[in-house]
Amino acid sequence: MKNFSKSVLFSSFLTIFLFASSSYAQNCANYNFANSIRSYTTCHTLPVLNSFLHWSYHQSNHTVDIAYRHTGVTTSNWIAWALNLGTGQMLGAQCLVALSNSSGQIQAYTSPISSTDYGTTLQEGPLSFAVPRMEAEFTNNEMIIYATIQLPSGRTSFTHVWQYGDVSGTTPRAHVTSGDNLRSFGSIDFASGTSVDTGSTSGGSRDRNRNIHGVLNVVSWGILMPLGAIIARYLKVFKGANPAWFYLHVTCQASAYIVGVAGWGTGLKLGSDSVGVQHNVHRNIGITLFVFGTLQIFALLLRPKPEHKYRFYWNIYHYLTGYSVIILSIINIFEGFSILDPEERWRRAYIGVLIFFGACVAFLEPYTWYVVLKRKGQSTTTPASDKYRPGHVHAANGSNGRANGYDA
Ligand SMILES: *[C@@H]1O[C@H](CO)[C@@H](O)[C@H](O)[C@H]1NC(C)=O
Ligand SMILES: *[C@@H]1O[C@H](CO)[C@@H](O)[C@H](O)[C@H]1NC(C)=O
């Protein structure tokens, strides 16, 4: 009986597996085009953006018939597939574009992108090679461009690029500039039938740099900075933790700053490497963070003595800058997540860290107030309730102006 159920299990697993792999194969070599006249000798499942490229190369007249299929789109998307005869990817690409035109029909047209035009809206225009036949269709959330291309003489191997985005009216809008939308290129040889997915594989070193950038910044700005603030705010209320909290706080923020500046540098490098792709919000918040972080280092070096008349203002300044850094860091980390588009578990892990910090604050904040209030009550006879603190230390957090930390 046990064996029987095992073999049932195994065979159903096998069926599912075969079914899944055959439906996968359906998507490429065995895919049946609605019009049975269309058939192609070669098919390649492109590595990203739900795309497939079918083609037949005719040596006699050096033409290639292609069908570029993009699944999972709607009629408010545009799709494009392009050859790039140069060394670039998007810049200089000779595009075949399909979208739903003003009469509601799916239309295919050609659009050359100049070598400088990152802001292209894919205007119609002639390509650098002839495209004797071209049409497009849309069925079952799948858009297909069919075309015959007269290949430039003497070569069959090119960089190809594919993309999609939203249409506003009948004008293609800029595509997403992160994740798979930046990996959708590779090289293709129509004669030999080979293709290399450069964008998703050898783009590895760039991906690695982006990951390093992400890790450095999440650890520094996203974890160490708030941790250091929590240490300062909640540890100093314990008499025994004085002045240890101060050194812990400084150590934590200083290492966060050093790692953070390294992370910031990798961000500048990534920015300068990806010409034409701008993540303005992320970049501007990043620059602000660097400025604020640096100001905090100066604040440490230039802080007045606790009894100095300007110390009150210094405290306000230090707190405001510090809290701004924490809030901006968290915002920018989520900005970064949406650009880098890592596996969901990384975002979840960071949300977990934030929930942990939130729980610490929720528990320690009332407790701190309780301790400070109680101490106030006991020390009404000794007005300088925080006399026990060493000179450089801020006051504990507390319930009123006297002990709220602006008054060390
Ligand atoms: C190129 O040649 C093939 C046969 O080798 C033919 O089927 C195709 O129509 C030709 N294409 C053009 C654009 O002439
Ligand atoms: C829309 O596309 C169809 C199919 O290509 C074409 O026949 C028609 O002229 C286009 N309409 C407009 C307004 O461009």
Question: Are residues 191 and 209 part of one domain?
Answer: no
For residue 8, being part of any structural domain is answered with: no
Q: Consult the annotation and say whether 249 binds a ligand.
A: yes
Report the pLDDT value the prediction gives residue 316, as an integer from 0 to 100. 93
Query: Which stretches in the chain have pLDDT values below 50?
Result: 1-26, 202-203, 382-408
Q: Ligand 2 site: residues with CB under 6 angstroms?
A: 101-103, 105, 107
Residues in CB range of 70: below 8 A, 6 or more apart: 49, 50, 51, 79, 142, 143, 144, 162, 164
Report the pLDDT value the prediction gives residue 204, as an integer from 0 to 100. 54
Question: Are residues 210 and 191 part of one domain?
Answer: no
How far does the centroid of ligand 1 lie from the alpha carbon of residue 61, in Å?
6
Whether the ω angle into residue 243 lies within 30 degrees of 0, i.e. cis, is yes
For residue 269, being part of any structural domain is answered with: yes
For residue 116, being part of any structural domain is answered with: yes
Choosing from 196, 223, 239, the residue where a domain stops is 196
How far does the centroid of ligand 1 lie from the alpha carbon of residue 94, in Å?
21
**pLDDT tens digits for range 157-212:** 999 999 999 998 888 998 988 888 888 998 899 988 877 776 655 445 666 788 89
Q: Consult the annotation and say whether 70 binds a ligand.
A: no
Report the pLDDT value the prediction gives residue 19, as an integer from 0 to 100. 42
How many domains does the structure of the chain reveal? 2
Report the pLDDT value the prediction gives residue 222, as an integer from 0 to 100. 96
Question: Are residues 186 and 284 part of one domain?
Answer: no
Question: Are residues 46 and 116 part of one domain?
Answer: yes
Report the pLDDT value the prediction gives residue 249, as an integer from 0 to 100. 95
- Residue to mutate (ligand 1; options 58, 59, 66, 134; most atoms within 8 A of CB): 58
Task: Say yes or no: CB of residue 132 within 6 Å of ligand 1.
Answer: yes
For the CA of 60, the nearest ligand: 1
Q: Which whole-number Å values give the CA distances from 34 to 122, 139, 304, 356, in the listed order?
A: 28, 9, 79, 55
Question: Are residues 387 and 242 part of one domain?
Answer: yes
Question: Are residues 355 and 331 part of one domain?
Answer: yes
Question: Are residues 112 and 213 part of one domain?
Answer: no
**pLDDT tens digits for range 312-369:** 999 999 999 999 999 999 999 999 988 777 777 888 999 999 999 999 999 999 999 9
Question: Are residues 98 and 177 part of one domain?
Answer: yes
CA–CA separation, 46 and 52 (whole Å): 5
Question: Are residues 274 and 169 part of one domain?
Answer: no
For residue 347, being part of any structural domain is answered with: yes
Question: Are residues 212 and 187 part of one domain?
Answer: no
Residues in CB range of 322: below 8 A, 6 or more apart: 229, 296
HEC states along the chain? CHHHHHHHHHHHHHHHHHHHHHHHHHCCCCCCCCCCCCCCCEEEECCCCCEEEEEEEECCCCEEEEEEEEECCCCCEEEEEEEECCCCCCCCCEEEEEEECCCCCEEEEEEECCCCCCCCCCCCCCCCCCCCEEEEEEECCEEEEEEEEECCCCCCEEEEEEEEEEEECCEECCCCCCHHHHCCEEEEECCCCEEECCCCCCCHHHHHHHHHHHHHHHHHHHHHHHHHHHHHHHHCCCHHHCCHHHHHHHHHHHHHHHHHHHHHHHHHHHHHHCCCCCCHHHHHHHHHHHHHHHHHHHHHHCCCCCCCCCHHHHHHHHHHHHHHHHHHHHHHHHHHHHHHCCCHHHHHHHHHHHHHHHHHHHHHHHHHHHHHHHHHHHCCCCCCCCCCCCCCCCCCCCCCHHHCCCCC
For residue 291, being part of any structural domain is answered with: yes
Report the pLDDT value the prediction gives residue 21, as an integer from 0 to 100. 39
How far does the centroid of ligand 1 lie from the alpha carbon of residue 40, in Å?
13
The CATH number of whichever domain residue 170 belongs to comes to 2.60.40
For residue 25, being part of any structural domain is answered with: no
Question: Are residues 209 and 95 part of one domain?
Answer: no
Q: Which whole-number Å values give the CA distances from 129 to 7, 55, 283, 310, in the listed order?
A: 58, 17, 39, 72
Q: What is the pTM of this model?
A: 0.56
For residue 249, being part of any structural domain is answered with: yes
**Rg of the Cα trace of the chain?**
30
Residues in CB range of 248: below 8 A, 6 or more apart: 228, 231, 235
What are the two backbone dihedrals, phi and then psi, of residue 242, each rounded to the nearest 5 degrees?
Answer: -110, 130
CA–CA separation, 66 and 146 (whole Å): 6
Structural domain of residue 54, as residue ranges? Answer: 30-196
The CATH number of whichever domain residue 347 belongs to comes to 1.20.120.1770
For the CA of 107, the nearest ligand: 2
Question: Are residues 217 and 148 part of one domain?
Answer: no
Q: Whose alpha carbon is nearest atom 5 of ligand 2? A: 107
Report the pLDDT value the prediction gives residue 177, as an integer from 0 to 100. 83
Could you identify the atom of ligand 1 that is nearest to the CA of residue 150?
Answer: 13
For residue 24, being part of any structural domain is answered with: no
Choosing from 162, 196, 230, the residue where a domain stops is 196
Choosing from 170, 196, 222, the residue where a domain stops is 196
